[in-house]
Amino acid sequence: MLRGLPASEGVCRGRLFVLAPPRPLVIEPRPITEADFPAEIQRLEEALLTTRQQLLEVQRRVSEGVGANDARIFDAQLLVLEDPFLHDEVLKQMRRDKVCIEYAFHDFAQRYFTTLSSVEDKYLSERAMDLRDVAERVLHNLLGQELPADLSHLHEPCIVVAYDLTPSRTATLDRRYVLGFATELGSLTSHTAILARSLRIPAVTGLTQAVAQVRTGQFALLDGYEGLLIVEPTEQTLYTYGQIERRQLALRGRLEQLRDEPAITLDAERLVLSANIESAAELSEVREFGAEGVGLFRTEYLFLNRPKPPDEEEQYAAYREVAEKLAPAPVIIRTLDLGGDKLPEVAGDLDERNPFLGWRAIRICLQQPELFKAQLRAVLRASAHGNVKLMYPMISSLDELLQANALLEECRQELRAAGRAFNPDLEVGATIEIPSAAVMAASLARHVRFFSIGTNDLIQYTLAVDRLNPRIAQLFEPTHPAVIRLMRATIEAAHAQGCWVGVCGEMAGEPVFAPLLIGLGADELSAAPARVPAVKFVIRRLKRTEAAALAAYALQCETGREILTRCRDLAQRIAPSLFEIASGAELEAAAAAPS
C-alpha cells in the first residue's frame, strides 16, 4: 500500500499503466557569433508564438470539455511566455556567452525552476511546475521535436501512475480510458489536482517512489478519499471497497430519482434550483442533473482567445440557442465578466499591477459602450425566443447600475426602430459580489428585479483573500461572520423592495451550506450541474424552521468555525447517507489485511 495525498475524490480499480519519466533533453552549448544573433532571436520568437498557440488550443479544449473557469489555470502558463524578465535574461545570456538560443533558454529555465522548487513555499514551488511545462514546450519547438507522447493513445481502461503529470498533459486525459491517476509530485492545490477534480476522476499525489515500486499490468485500487494506492489488493480490501462503492451506487440511484422532483423542503417551502453553465455545450447536463434552468450563463467563452470580440449576430445566435433549447425554463445571461488583459483589441497596451481590482467586467463595458451595446442587443433579441433574464456583473455603485440601465434602454429603442423583436418586460438583475454593493443593496434594488450573490468574489473582496493562493487559502472562509451578515443584509434589502435573490457562487453547490443559505432567505440556488442533485437531496430533507434556526445562530456567531460546525452537524443529521463513505480506520484495516 502506498500512501500519498488525496487530490480528487473517488475510488477506482484496474490495471496500472506506469508512465516512465520523459528523458531529459540534452542540449549542447553550440557556439554562435554576433552575426547569428538576429536569426537566433527570430527562432526564439517563433518558438514562443508556436507554444502560445499550442497552449491556447489546450485551453480551448479544456474550456469546451470541462469549463471556462478551469481553463483559466492555463493563464499562468501564458503569462510565463509573456514574462519580459525571462525573455530579457535568455537574450542576455545568449549574447554574453555566444551560445545558441535553445541552450540559453534551457539553462536559464532550469536555474529558475530549481530556485522556485527549492523554496519552502507551496505556492512558488507549484508555479515552478507551470514554468517547467511551458519550458518543455518551448524547447521542443526550438528543436523542432515532437512533445513526449501524451495519454490520448490509451485504448484500455487503466490507472495511470507517473512521476508527474503536467497540467497540459492532464488536459488530454480521456475519461473513457483513464480511471484515475497517481503521481509522485503535486499537491491538493496544484493545477493538475484541480483539473482532476473537474474531470471527476480519482487522483492521488505525493506518492514517493511510486514509479519505481509498481509495474504496468499490476492490478490495483486507487482511493482518492484517503490518498491510497493499493497494489494487488486482498479479498478483504476489495470487499470493503465494494461496500463503499455499493453505498455510492445506491446514493447515486437515489439522487437520479430526484431529477424531475422539485427542490421543496419538508414543510413545503419551494426553492428554485438552477445550474451554472459556460456554454451551450453544457445544456444536456442541465437536464441530466435535474436543474430548473440556468441561474448563471457565463458568456466569456465567446470572447476568449480571438483577435476581435464577437459581433452582435454571433452572440445573438449563441444566446438564442440556449434560450430555445431550455424554454420555458429561465436562463440568466450574465454580461461580459473578463479582465482587460483578455481583450487585447480593447485594452491595447494595458499594464495592470492588480487586475483583480482593475479594469474588468462592467467597468470595461461602461467605458466601451459599443462593445457593451452589441451584447445587450444580442441578449434582448434572444429574449424573444425564451425565458431570458439579464444580469450585470461586478456592480459596485448605484451610478454604474444607472449607466448600464441607460445603455440598455438605448438598445431597446434601437431595436424598436429597426423592427427587431424582444421581450419588453425582460428581467434585469445585478450580481452582488463587492461589499459596497451589499451595503448599498437597498438603493440598487430599486432599479433591478433580482440580485444574484456571487459568493466566490464576495468572500475574496470582503476578506481580501485570493482563494487560489495556497499561502493564504486558509483565510478564504465562506462562513466568516462578515460574509454571512453581508449576505443577510443584501437579502433583506432586496426583499423589502420586492426583488428576489439567488446565490450563484460555489457555496450554492455545497450541500453543507444549503440550509444556511435558505435560512438567510435565498430564493434560488445556482450551482454547477453535477452539484445540483446533492443540494436537492439536502433541501428535500430539510425543514424551513431548521434552516431559519441555523441562520439565526450564524448571525450571532463571532467565528466562522462555529458556523461551519453547525452547518455540518445539521446537514449530516438530515442527510447522513450523503456524507458516509468509510472511516479512515476502516480503510486502513482493510488495506493492511493479509491475503
Sign, CA dihedral 32-38-42-45, equals positive
Distance between CA 421 and CA 411 in Å, rounded?
Answer: 12
Instruction: Find all residues with CB under 8 Å of 5, minimum gap 6, and list them.
Output: 186, 187, 188, 204, 205, 206, 227
Q: What is the C-alpha separation between 430 and 490, in angstroms, rounded? A: 12
Q: Which of 179, 231, 223, 234 is nearest to 582 (CA)?
A: 223
- CB–CB of 218/2 below 8 Å? no
Q: Are 338 and 378 in contact (CB under 8 A)?
A: no
> Is 140 an annotated catalytic residue?
no
Of 191, 385, 411, 499, the catalytic one is: 191
Which string of DSSP letters, residue by residue, matches 412-470?
A: HHHHHHHT----TT-EEEEEE-SHHHHHTHHHHGGG-SEEEE-HHHHHHHHHT--TT-T
Which residue carries 519552502 as its cell?
120
Largest distance between two CA atoms of the chain:
82
Asked whether the beta carbons of 179 and 14 are under 8 A apart, the reply is yes
Closest by CA position to 2, among listed 159, 128, 199: 159
The residues that bridge with 296 in the sheet, in sequence order, are: 276
Q: Cell 464577437 maps to which residue?
A: 310
Options 12, 504, 557, 567, the catalytic residue: 504
Strand partners, 428: 390
Secondary structure (H, E, C), 298-346: ECHHHCCCCCCCCCHHHHHHHHHHHHHHHCCCEEEEECCCCEHHHCHHH
d(CA 503, CA 525): 5
DSSP tag of 149: P
Q: Round to whole Å and give the CA distance between 349 and 95.
A: 28
Residues 441, 489 contacting (CB under 8 angstroms): yes
Cite the DSSP H helix spans in 144-234: 167-170, 191-199, 210-213
b/e per residue, 253-266, with b = 16+ CB within 10 A? eebeebeeeebebe
Told to judge if 191 belongs to the known catalytic residues of this protein, a careful annotator would answer yes
Q: Is the bond into 328 cis (omega within 30 degrees of 0)?
A: yes
Task: Provide the b/e sequence for 43-76 (b: ≥16 CB within 10 Å).
Answer: bbeebbeebbebbbebbbebbeebbbbbbbbbeb
Query: Do residues 320 and 377 make contact, with C-beta atoms less than 8 angstroms apart?
Result: no
**DSSP secondary structure letter of residue 525:** E
Q: Which residues are catalytic?
A: 191, 504
